[in-house]
Amino acid sequence: MLRLGLLTVAAVLAAGSLRAAEPPAKPNVIFVLSDDLAQGDVGCYGQKLIRTPILDAMAKEGTRFTQTYCGTSVCAPSRTSLMIGQHTGHSPIRANREIQPEGQKPLPAGTYTVAKLLKDNGYATACMGKWGMGLFDTTGSPFKVGFDHFFGYNCQRHAHSYFPTYLYRDDKRFDLPGNDGLAVGQTYAQNFIADETLAWVTANKDRPFFLFYAITLPHGRHEIDTQGAYENEKWTEQQKNYAAQVTRLDTDVGRLLAKLKELKLDEKTLVIVAGDNGSSFAPNSEIGKLFDQTMGGQLRGFKRALYEGGLRQACIARWPGVVPAGRVCDEPWAFWDFLPTCADLIGVPVPAEAKTDGLSVVPLLKGGAAPKRDSFYWELHEAGPSLQAVRFGDWKAVKNGPSAPVELYDLKADPGEKTNLSAKHAGLVAKATKLMADAHQDHPDWPLRDKVVPKKNASNPGES
């Protein structure tokens, strides 16, 4: 009898030991993508006038990255890169292209996304805020590429108004009272989006989930329901609104983090907050100058260019107990790394149909080194000449049109890209030229061209 009892106890202990050795549950993944947030807008990157206490605290509780790169320096192709894990040398979307009366050029049929990857592995999936990669009756509908739920704006042009006449819940349109979509109205859209986001997280707290929280703040038009702490500043109305937009973004991230703590999901959830394509403003502009978005000239350029100011994003990652607290990481990674990173997080291989250019940055998130790679590559095909840029090691090359000369910068010594070294390094220019040629895949929608063409059915600069 004693022998049997000891064996039983041993079996129970052994079973408990086996359970303890099992891998942890699949983490929740939240990517908060802010529209047009610059590094220089955030306190932990050096901003002095705009209050961002939540993001600053998040950086202390997690890791702040100084060289996280977006897909390219405008909205739709940057988001596409994040979703599908491809750089813009062969991504199906390489510029903003609008469709009338509403929507953007859709993702092609069968596009493999990070949402599909996670949905196929048991995750609830939602996009909140702005989609902009295909209306619901197209191949780019969020529901055709892996999302269970959608709430907000589908069309990025429609998202220019913070007081729109309607939003979407899934594919059903509903009206917002007291708004005309042309000026400040009665109903601030972000209030609805923030509340819906918290409700969805609560409803899915008992299963792994992926939330793509694509907040439109602080994108123009610069409208806000309250200027809050900035109301009495001796600034222009646009400056006060912009600061209030950034702080409202910060507040809504804070509400989300508080909800995770309330639901006891804090240690089960990776949260990444990033901008999508850099500041919209020139350094000498009304907003760029007051708020010093270049951080004293540390980064050159802004949206719609391929210099570092348009490509490097404010990016903070938080996951208590996993992502090191208080770390400032200078190692580079890019939006197209997100899909393979999620595959690595849940322990599955990247499916062949993803055709990703990315590499998992799970070791980097956990405090280790960035993956080794040959280069990063970007294209942009807006109204002007086609732009190309490539980074290899600490060298960065920019080509502002197929016939333009290659500019060459040493980012380690010159992160502000002030000194063009192409005349001194013919070999590196030749290498950069070959890297660009190898990374670019021809496509009839995205020819490399020098000719400046008028914009048709496209957003104005600074608008998407």
CA distance 332 to 371: 9
Helix (H) or strand (E) holding 79: helix 75-84
Determine the CATH number of domain 28-365. 3.40.720.10
pLDDT < 50 positions in the chain:
1-23, 456-463
Paired tokens of 464:
């998407």
Q: What is the pLDDT of residue 192?
A: 98
Q: What is the pLDDT of residue 194?
A: 98
Q: What is the pLDDT of residue 364?
A: 98
Determine the CATH number of domain 376-439. 3.30.1120.10
**Selection from 105, 126, 120, 104 nearest residue 32 by Cα:** 126
Q: 225-283, pLDDT tens digit by residue?
A: 999 999 999 999 999 999 999 999 999 999 999 999 999 999 999 999 999 998 899 99
Q: Which residues of 308-344 are buried (b: 16+ CB within 10 A; e: fewer)?
A: bbbbbbbbbbbbeebbbeeeebeebbbbbbbbbbbbb
Q: Could you tell me the CA-to-CA distances from 88 to 371, 390, 441 in Å, in that order?
A: 20, 11, 9
Q: What is the pLDDT of residue 464?
A: 63
**Selection from 54, 218, 182 nearest residue 227 by Cα:** 218
Distance of CA 201 to the CA centre of its chain: 20
Paired tokens of 179:
């708004």
CB 249 within 8 A of CB 215: yes
**Selection from 284, 311, 283 nearest residue 415 by Cα:** 311
Q: Sign of dihedral through CA atoms 380, 386, 389, 390?
A: positive
Q: What is the pLDDT of residue 24?
A: 52
Domain boundaries, the chain: 28-365, 376-439
pTM, two decimals, is 0.93
Q: What is the pLDDT of residue 451?
A: 79
Strands (E), 179-319: 209-214, 269-275, 312-318
Could you tell me how many residues make up the chain? 464
- Looking at the DSSP bridge assignments, the partners of residue 32 are 213, 273
Tell me if residue 33 falls in helix, strand or coil.
strand
